[in-house]
């Protein structure tokens, strides 16, 4: 479903992403790991068509993102970092707007809104203004937006960031369930999450892929390490080191 080849992004003189390639098939959940500033968000922004890559190709369900972005974007659901929302809208009207942008109208639209409100446990805040929501609810509202059109591809930038342990557990469960018939990429700092929800993981550091495999393979990839945490620290450099 997602094919990314030799992706590269340069900001001025800084190479943010360098030669990143991966594919994600339907039914796979790919975990995107890496230290802060490694290029995770930049890569995801390119895959979703927000940033234009300096070089490389992106194909979503066989459609080239660079040549036909509008068609390619149709099959993607995206949760950006920090879960942006229009603060002057209510939860239901925001989701209604997103459904409309996805081409859903009339009863299809209200059905889609009701479905995601239930799926993301937002029923009790549906008519509440986004402004007044707590962080967990804001995050879930934006997450609901990403699945409103039941996309084949889901790209989630730190979907569990800022959630409490119960909410984290719910979101992980949701990702895992949806991963059965979608291609999902999600980025995270939390390594247990990778083991809990991913079928494969990529570790990137300073814009490059430094490890790629199933969580079990990754654990064995560095001799002497027996947890993802140790592997992560062995192959990525802390940002204090130049």
Partner 1 sequence: MNKRDLDNTLAIFKREFLSYFNSPVLYVIVVIYLLASMGFTFFFGRFLESDNASLTQPFFFWHPWIYIVLAPAVGMRLWSEEHRLGTFELLMTMPLSPWQAIIGKFVAAALVWLIGLALTFPVVLTVYWLGSPDLGPIVTGYIASYLYALGCLAVTSAASAFTRSQVVCFIVSVALCILLTLIGYPGIVDTVVRTVPASLESIVRLISYLSFMDHFYEMSKGIFVFRDVLYFLSVIVVALLVTHLGLRSKRA
* Torsion angle of the four alpha carbons 73, 171, 116, 133, in this order, in degrees rounded to the nearest 10: -100
Closest distance to partner 1 from the beta carbon of 105 (Å): 8
Nearest to partner 1 of 48, 160 (CB atom): 48
Nearest to partner 1 of 70, 127 (CB atom): 70
Q: Shortest CA distance to 66 belongs to which of 41, 43, 48?
A: 48
Residues making contact with partner 1 (CB under 8 A): 45, 48-52, 70-71, 73-74, 76, 78, 80, 82, 84-89, 97-98, 100-103, 105, 142, 145
Closest distance to partner 1 from the beta carbon of 34 (Å): 20
Closest distance to partner 1 from the beta carbon of 154 (Å): 12
Q: Largest Cα–Cα distance of the chain, in whole Å? A: 59
Nearest to partner 1 of 56, 215 (CB atom): 56
The answer to whether the CB of 22 falls within 8 A of the CB of 209 is: yes
- Between the CA of residue 120 and those of 113, 117, 181, what are the distances in Å? 11, 5, 18
Closest distance to partner 1 from the beta carbon of 242 (Å): 26
Nearest to partner 1 of 60, 211 (CB atom): 60
- Between the CA of residue 81 and those of 25, 85, 183, what are the distances in Å? 23, 11, 19
């Amino acid at each position: 479903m997602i094919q990314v080849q030799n992706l590269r992004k340069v900001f001025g003189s800084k190479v943010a992403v360098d030669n990143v390639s991966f594919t994600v098939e339907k039914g796979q959940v790919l975990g995107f790991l890496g230290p802060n500033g490694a290029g995770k968000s930049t890569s995801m922004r390119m895959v979703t068509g927000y940033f234009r890559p300096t070089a490389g190709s992106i194909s979503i369900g066989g459609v080239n993102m660079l040549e036909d972005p509008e068609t390619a974007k149709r099959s993607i659901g995206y949760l950006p970092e920090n879960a942006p929302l229009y603060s002057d809208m209510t939860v239901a009207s925001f989701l209604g707007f997103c459904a409309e942008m996805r081409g859903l109208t009339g009863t299809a639209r209200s059905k889609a809104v009701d479905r995601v409100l239930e799926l993301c446990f937002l029923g009790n805040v549906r008519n509440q203004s986004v402004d007044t929501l707590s962080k967990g609810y804001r995050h879930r509202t934006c997450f609901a937006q990403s699945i409103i059109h039941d996309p084949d591809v889901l790209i989630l930038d730190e979907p569990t960031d800022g959630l409490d342990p119960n909410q984290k557990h719910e979101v992980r469960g949701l990702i895992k369930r949806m991963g059965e018939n979608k291609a999902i990429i999600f980025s995270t700092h939390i390594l247990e999450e990778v083991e809990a929800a991913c079928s494969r993981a990529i570790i990137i550091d300073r814009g490059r892929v430094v490890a790629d495999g199933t969580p079990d393979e990754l654990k064995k990839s560095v001799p002497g390490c027996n947890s993802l945490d140790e592997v992560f620290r062995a192959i990525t450099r802390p940002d204090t080191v130049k």
